[in-house]
Structure 1
Amino acid sequence: MRIEVDISCQRLTLYTPEGRRQDQWPVSTAKNGPGEGHGSGCTPRGRHVIRARIGDGQAVGTVFVGRRPTGEICDEALFRAQPERDWILTRILWLSGLEPGKNRLGDVDTMRRYIYIHGCPDAFPMGKPLSAGCIRMRNHAVIALFEQVSVGTEVLIKE
């Protein structure tokens, strides 16, 4: 399997090993646009790999902080009580860059920037760049993706 994230279309596509489109979902990438610098709040471009799969078996809406479940489930009441919180929900696919100097090592290292593909509250719109750098998906979509990929799956993020 292979993942392609198109920042300009705000779309994530999952391809089979033979190159056929398996699934496709709308996403939300960075509000600050594409970019690789640490602290930029941008979505990094280029070739990546899934470094870790986090959240297998957790309930839909499970809240993660520091890649650990907090014991909370994000519902409408919790979301309304903390609307500015950086919500990372349900599943996490932690990305690592494959291109030294572009998205790996030093000040541009995707993994050290904690860039994920992850779930988010249903109130967050898809198809618009609004994240702090990560790739947000609907919770049921991120579960469907999570179940089809493994550590080592390649991810291409392009404009």
Structure 2
Amino acid sequence: MIKQLFALAGVVVAANVIAHQFAHQQNLSESPPVVTQSVMPQAPANNTPNKVAEPLRLKIQLNSRKVTLYQGETVIKSYPIAVGRPGWETPTGNFRVGQMLKNPTWISPLTDETVPGGHPENPLGSYWIGFWSDGRNSIGFHGTPNAETVGTAASHGCIRMYNKDVEELFSQVSLGTPVTVVE
């Protein structure tokens, strides 16, 4: 039994020597480092908790001829618009952005005539934000070469905007952004 105790003590001493040599080779100290500064994360200076940004949404008011971009309940910006003329009224209801295009091709809903994207006479301008479709025709936000029509009921149901405004809106919304259209 005494031999076994001496053997066990020898193993412990050998393990201690090996651990000490390894720590020395790795430039490690035998005792843990002393922390002299706080390692707790600091709260923001204004002590307000971080919040997840509320989603963006669009509300079109047909009678007042404007679209408003909201983040939650906060108004980000409102833009003047043209809406559908009699016989081509803009549909009301709740929709989502389903298509976003730069330099869209326009296809006339009356004649099937096409005007390529980027063409100066393209009635869609340079940006398209689609939110409604029946499979053949689509309705969405777009620019116009006829800026004087913004603020009127002049479109085939689409939301015409000043070119600079639809470009700005295009950069802020994404596929799936909710669109509500009310009278």
Partner of 1:31: 85
The within-5 A match list for 1:60-139 is 62=103, 64-66=105-107, 70=116, 72-74=118-120, 87-96=123-132, 110=134, 112-139=136-163
Is the partner of 2:148 in helix, strand or coil? coil
Larger radius of gyration: 2
* Deviation (angstroms), 1:110: 4.9
Change beyond 3 A, Cα 1:71–1:89? closer
More helix by proportion, 1 or 2? 2
Which of 69, 72, 76 is equivalent to 1:14? 69
TM (norm. structure 1) is 0.69
Amino acid of the structure 1 residue aligned with 2:70: Y
Query: After superposition, what is the alpha-carbon deviation per residue over 1:3-47, rounded to whole angstroms, capped at 9, x for unaligned?
Result: 00000000010001x310001110000111xxxxxxx52200010
Q: Give ranges in structure 1 of 5+ residues lacking alignment.
A: 33-39, 56-61, 80-85, 97-108
TM (norm. structure 2) is 0.60
Query: After superposition, what is the alpha-carbon deviation per residue over 1:78-124, rounded to whole angstroms, capped at 9, x for unaligned?
Result: x5xxxxxx71111001113xxxxxxxxxxxx5564311111111443
State how far apart, in whole Å, the 1-side matches of 2:150 and 2:179 are. 19
Partner of 1:36: none
State how far apart, in whole Å, the 1-side matches of 2:173 and 2:135 are. 18
Change beyond 3 A, Cα 1:63–1:95? closer
Change beyond 3 A, Cα 1:20–1:132? same
Q: Give ranges in structure 2 of 5+ residues lacking alignment.
A: 1-55, 108-113
State how far apart, in whole Å, the 2-side matches of 1:140 and 1:7 are. 20
Change beyond 3 A, Cα 1:14–1:41? same
* Deviation (angstroms), 1:72: 4.2
* Deviation (angstroms), 1:49: 0.4
Partner of 2:176: 152
**How many residue pairs get matched?**
122
Percent identity reads: 27
State how far apart, in whole Å, the 2-side matches of 1:142 and 1:5 are. 14
State how far apart, in whole Å, the 1-side matches of 2:94 and 2:117 are. 34
Partner of 1:2: 57
